[in-house]
Amino acid sequence: MAKLRGRGYAAVNYPTGMNLGGDPTQALVHSTTTGNFVVSLSSVDLGQGLKTVAAQVAAETLGLPYENIIVDTADTDTGPHCMGTFASRGTHRVGNAVIMAAQEAREAMLAAAAEELEVDAEDLETDGTGFIKLKGSEEVKIHVVDLAMAAHFKLGRTIAGRGIFLKERSYPDPETGKMDPDSAQAHACTVADVEVDDETGVIEVLALHNVYEVGRAINPRMAKQQIEGGAWMGISHALYEATDPYYPQRDHGPRDFEEYLMPGPADNAKMESDIIEFPAANGPYGAKGIGEMTANAPIPAIANAVFDACGVRLIEMPFTPESVLRGLDELRASA
């Protein structure tokens, strides 16, 4: 009886967005009277950080500080339309729509500043701290707060922009089946180190080493958090979670969180995660989607590591102690 160690890897190519009847998202950007810019979206932030990323993209495009951006995702009845946050599409679709809206708002902002400063809009630039200034001059400038007040109360101008990103529907070629189903492909690889107890059948994931190519990580720390949270979900799918462990029988199925197995804080694997960036031509500042793919590679990597450790090839999740022991019995019987 022994604890057997093994290593396995798996790689994933994952599409960003989808291709049903076309895949659009809209964004509206407008300045308040105090120079804050509201990004209106119907896209939902489930905790993945979409609002943070949308604000970063808006700030970068407008040339204003991040603190000046208010992302409003309050109401799908009144907000500009979004297909939703799924298919790893949020950053890509919303980011592109926000860039388009923020570019139009920036043009309106510079036009208002040009009128207020009595210069040509093409000679103006933003300095990233909140000022719109004449290129090459330190004197001729106006702060966005003063500009927004002037635009509203004196110039009678709006500072606003509209944006949409549409991934058009792509029909397959009837002869070849060729089509354009997604906007980009992100890539990842996970190497899993496991230990298998050949007496109890228990698999322990010792470490997961993850590498992700996501175009550009607009917020690298949040991307890393998604990678490691997703890898944890991968471990959970691989080793623990089952609504119907003896499907199609309902026997021993969990009825609540107390009976639904998930790894807890004591079951963590050592995680190591790196991000590689090859900006995508059609992505917002080069970003592809990450989201769903983070739970994908860990599962086959763990299965391959179990095979490496003890020779048992598991093809049904979760990889329970029972399935490991039955596999070991079969190996012994056929030896």
- Contact letters (x/-) for another protein, 121-160, by CB under 8 A? ----------------------------------------
Which of 187-195, 225-233, 237-245, 326-334 is the region at the interface with another protein (rule: CB under 8 A)? 225-233
Which of 66-74, 170-178, 182-190, 263-271 is the region at the interface with another protein (rule: CB under 8 A)? 263-271
Which of 7-15, 218-226, 239-247, 324-332 is the region at the interface with another protein (rule: CB under 8 A)? 218-226
Residue 231 neighbours by CB under 8 Å, 6+ apart: 190, 208, 210, 269, 271, 273, 294, 295, 298
Least Å distance between CB 70 and another protein? Answer: 19
Residue-wise DSSP of 187-219:
EEEEEEEEEEETTT--EEEEEEEEEEE-S--SS
Which of 63-71, 96-104, 148-156, 222-230 is the region at the interface with another protein (rule: CB under 8 A)? 222-230
Query: Given the complex with another protein, which of 233 and 306 has the nearer CB atom?
Result: 233
**Cβ–Cβ < 8 Å for 92, 186:** no
CA-to-CA distance for 80 and 69, rounded, in angstroms? 17
φ, ψ for residue 47, nearest 5 deg: 115, -5
Per CB under 8 A, the list member of 23, 60, 228, 308 interacting with another protein is: 228
Per CB under 8 A, the list member of 249, 257, 332, 334 interacting with another protein is: 257
Least Å distance between CB 57 and another protein? Answer: 19
CA-to-CA distance for 113 and 146, rounded, in angstroms? 10
CA-to-CA distance for 305 and 333, rounded, in angstroms? 22
**Cβ–Cβ < 8 Å for 99, 57:** yes
Which of 95-103, 197-205, 251-259, 299-307 is the region at the interface with another protein (rule: CB under 8 A)? 251-259
Which of 75-83, 169-177, 194-202, 216-224 is the region at the interface with another protein (rule: CB under 8 A)? 216-224
CA-to-CA distance for 326 and 28, rounded, in angstroms? 58
Beta strands in the chain (DSSP E): 3-15, 23-31, 37-40, 69-72, 124-126, 131-134, 141-143, 160-167, 185-197, 203-213, 270-276
271 touches another protein (CB under 8 A):
yes
Per CB under 8 A, the list member of 136, 177, 248, 265 interacting with another protein is: 265
Burial of 186 (0-12, 13-18, 19+ CB in 10 A): buried
Least Å distance between CB 51 and another protein? Answer: 12
**Distance, C-alpha 44 to centroid of its chain:** 12
C-alpha distances in angstroms, 170 versus 22, 65, 83, 220, 256?
A: 8, 38, 17, 32, 42
Query: Given the complex with another protein, which of 171 and 257 has the nearer CB atom?
Result: 257
Least Å distance between CB 38 and another protein? Answer: 22
Which residues 42-61 are close enough to bind another protein by CB under 8 A? 46-49
Query: Which residues make up the interface to another protein (CB under 8 A)?
Result: 46-49, 221-222, 224-226, 228-229, 231-233, 256-258, 262, 264-266, 268, 271
